[in-house]
Chains A and B, each alone.
Chain A
Amino acid sequence: MLNFTEETISVAGGNLQVYKGGSGDPLLVLHGAGGNAGPRRYAQALAEQFTVYLPSHPGYGKSDRPGWVESMQDLACFYTWFQEQEGLENVRAIGFSMGGWLAAEMLSMTGHAFSKVMLVGAAGIKPNDGEITDIFIISPAQVRDLVYHDPSQVPEWDELLGTDPTPEQVQQAEGDREMAIRLTWRPYMHNPRLPAKLGRVSVPTHILWGENDNLVPVECAGLYQQAIAGSQVTVIPNCGHSPQIEKPDDFVQAALAFL
């Protein structure tokens, strides 16, 4: 894997799996509810400018599942602990989907989590008009169909989704889904108190969304912008819920321009 190593870091009494690669200032990348897909093309590109840290959240991938991590607020506590221990406070960060919600919770807890942050298709705030798609009453295959606006433009389709998953991958995906259920079940994928708490945020925040997001409605980009003073929004046209996978070049361009 180009430039990336896989490490195990002991945090809060458990092991955390972290992909680490590149050089330069640290950049913390927080994955979404579906799990850690590893250092994909976008992460490789970012690693040319930054030292990218891509951990698997507790309960995901090969990371341990501490019993006390039951909610997104617990998870945010876990990560501030990790940051403190590893000297990774006040760093740049990107959070995708549920990872964007995680980054927002961290922002609401402390002023020194991040120096700059990107929230991409972030869950966490309840839309006014639409709904965040309930991924727990549809099959993983149905979720996948909703993630991408146009599968034909996903450059890593064959590697990521082109073959049937192995039994180990299926088992891993179930473990990841179970952790997502634990963290986000009720209220589903949002925290009613989050917008008010985001009032404290003063770090530069960039909100990025796929125009055709079928999971977290694009109106949530505006709600995040309202909640975080001075934040800016970019909407990528003809793109679904995961711009970093569906349009990695556009995504990386926007990320580098901001970070």
Chain B
Amino acid sequence: MFLMRFTERAYVNYTEEDVRNSPNEAVRLTFSNSNFNPEEGHYLYNMYLDEYEYSEEVGFDGLMLNEHHNTPTCLGATMNLEAAILARNTKKPKIVLLGNPLPIFDNPIRLAEELAEIDMISGGRLVSGFVRGTGVESLATNTNPLHNRARFEEAHDLVIKTWTTPGPFRWEGDHYHFRVVNPFQTPLQKPHPPVWIPGTGSPETLVWCAERNYPYIFLETDPQGTQDMKSIYTEAAREHGYEPGPENFGYLVRIHVQDTDEKAYDVGKGYMVGNIGVGRIPLPRDYASPVGYGSRSDDPRFLRLREQIRSDPFRVGGLDSAHYDEILDSKRWIIGSPETVVSQLREVLSYMRPGILAVWTNDGSISHEDTMRCLELMGQEVLPALREIGEELELTDPFQKEGVMPGLTAV
């Protein structure tokens, strides 16, 4: 099992009132950057990088980063910069980017160059994930949400071709046009850095990943619904002639440990103001998912698949609007002493069977001190226990898989 550490790198120095007073009472997109203090930013960026570097020390296999725009909930606005720093300052862990939001790039060639540099600097440790981005990413970059999926797919094809086909070549697509594609720098990993795709389970994306043997990382999805989504992937994979295993799936969970259950319970409340922001005010629908962003496919296959996915009790408003105890009772967040966390995770892992576990160790208002203690305990007690459980449950990860490693498109 591949164990990677994640945090969204929140900025929380603002109040619920600040959000209430902002346009559409939204913490993303239009929440004024006059609420941002770069002095605090200086401290936070360095603190978060320190925590990632310490994550290598305690034994994580991967350092996972993400990216969002126009929001205090995630300081990673240009994730590749943080990735480049970690590529230089760490030695062993994979740098796992989940992921670069392809549709918002008008120049995917530049992205291919940046990722190639990161791969070389890190000595071939890059895992290059791609996402569609939320509606906020489209709006913040003025990318037409109607073309989101088409741009995602075309930019992906262009990046992969840029990495794997000797230039110069020309690209005249529907959304991208380049007369000379020939960046001199190419990735160290051949044929290209592995590609993993995170998401919350749109059937189109699941099928698209299965067709390419790309691992799919479920982002805090409902366990029951996840089984349905895995079967969609599995069915598509079989049609493409292979049997997917744990190495094709990942799962992201908020997991926080402290010395005692009581301490962890108190500290874990800090998550409540992370992803959704201080005040926990749900985003306007037209920000999160503008008309046209979601699928309007009338393909009966996708309608059937969508129908098939059981509804998640936390789906409306998400985990972020639910009560803390409710979330903990449902084991959607795993918070406690090392013993508690390991025992709960054994249950989750037995059911979900991911080869990749993304451990969202801290967020929101959880302090640096508490985070460092959490990471320390992870290294001393949780990660070794998880490795044993992973072996016992045969949760093979992509790097352990014999034969073709998942994540490399058929090139």
Please, how many angstroms separate the alpha-carbon atoms of A139 and B29 in the complex? 15
- With contact pairs A137-B29, A138-B24, A186-B142 given, residues A181 and B285 touching in the complex (Cβ less than 8 Å): no
Task: Say yes or no: is B290 at the interface (Cβ < 8 Å to chain A).
Answer: yes
Interface centre among A137, A139, A174, A182 (most CB of B within 10 A): A137
Q: Bound state CA distance, A186 and B145, in angstroms?
A: 11
A139 with B286: CB separation less than 8 A: yes
Q: A137-B139, A138-B24, A174-B291 are in contact. Are A181 and B146 (CB under 8 A)?
A: yes
For the complex, is A178 an interface residue (Cβ under 8 Å from B)? yes
Residue interface mask B285-297, A partner, CB < 8 A = 1: 1110011100010
Task: Name B residues whose Cβ lies closer than 8 Å to a Cβ of A.
Answer: 24, 29-30, 139, 142, 144-146, 284-287, 290-292, 296
Whether, in the assembled complex, A136 has its beta carbon less than 8 Å from a beta carbon of chain B, the answer is yes
Q: Which of B30, B145, B287 meets A181, CB within 8 Å?
A: B145
Over the window 67-103 of chain A, the binary record of Cβ atoms lying under 8 Å from chain B Cβ atoms (1 yes, 0 no) is 0000000000000000000000000000000000000
Does A177 touch B at the CB level, under 8 Å? yes
Chain A residue with the shortest CB-CB distance to B29? A137
Main secondary structure of the interface of B (DSSP, over half): loop
A137-B286, A137-B287 are known contacts. Are A178 and B296 too (CB-CB below 8 A)?
Answer: yes
A142 to B, closest residue via Cβ: B24
Please determine whether B286 and A138 come into contact, CB atoms closer than 8 angstroms. yes
Are A181 and B292 closer than 8 Å at their CB atoms? yes
Asked if A258 lies at the interface with its beta carbon under 8 angstroms from chain B, I say: no
Give the Cβ gap from A196 to chain B, nearest Cβ, in Å. 24
**CB-nearest residue of chain B to A180:** B291
What are 28 A-B contacts with C-beta separation under 8 Å? A136-B139, A136-B286, A136-B291, A137-B24, A137-B29, A137-B30, A137-B287, A137-B290, A138-B24, A139-B285, A174-B291, A177-B291, A177-B292, A178-B146, A178-B292, A178-B296, A181-B145, A181-B146, A181-B290, A181-B291, A181-B292, A182-B144, A182-B146, A182-B292, A185-B142, A185-B144, A185-B146, A186-B144
Q: Which of B286, B287, B291, B296 counts the most chain A CB atoms within 10 A?
A: B291
Task: Give CA–CA (A182, B144) in the complex, Å.
Answer: 7
CB distance from A101 to the nearest CB of B (A): 18
- Chain B contacts for A178, CB-based, 8 A: 146, 291-292, 296
Closest Cβ–Cβ distance, residue B311 to chain A (whole Å): 18
Tell me how far the C-beta of B149 lies from the nearest C-beta in chain A, rounded to whole angstroms: 14
Provide the A168-179 mask, 1 if CB < 8 A to any CB of B, else 0. Answer: 000000100110
Nearest-CB distance from B346 to chain A (Å)?
A: 44
Collect the chain B residues with CB atoms within 8 Å of residue A174's CB: 291
Q: Which residues of A contact B144 (CB under 8 A)?
A: 181-182, 185-186
Inter-chain contact B284/A139, CB cutoff 8 Å: yes
- Among B24, B30, B145, B286, the most chain A Cβ lie within 10 Å of the Cβ of B286
Could you tell me the distance in whole angstroms from the C-beta of A165 to the nearest C-beta in chain B?
15
Rounded to whole Å, the gap between the CB of A22 and the closest CB of chain B is: 34
Question: How distant is the Cα of A239 from the Cα of B303 in the complex, in angstroms?
Answer: 45
A residues 112-151 in Cβ contact with B at 8 Å: 136-139
Q: Nearest residue in B to A135 (C-beta to C-beta)?
A: B286
Q: Are A136 and B142 in contact (CB under 8 A)?
A: no
- The complex places the Cα of A186 from the Cα of B146 at a distance, in Å, of 12
Question: How many angstroms between the C-alpha atoms of A182 and B147 in the bound complex?
Answer: 9
Name the residue on A nearest B290 (C-beta): A136
| Most A Cβ at <10 Å: residue of B24, B284, B290, B292 | B292
> What are the nearest 8 A-B pairs in CB distance?
A178-B292, A185-B144, A177-B291, A178-B291, A181-B292, A174-B291, A182-B146, A186-B142
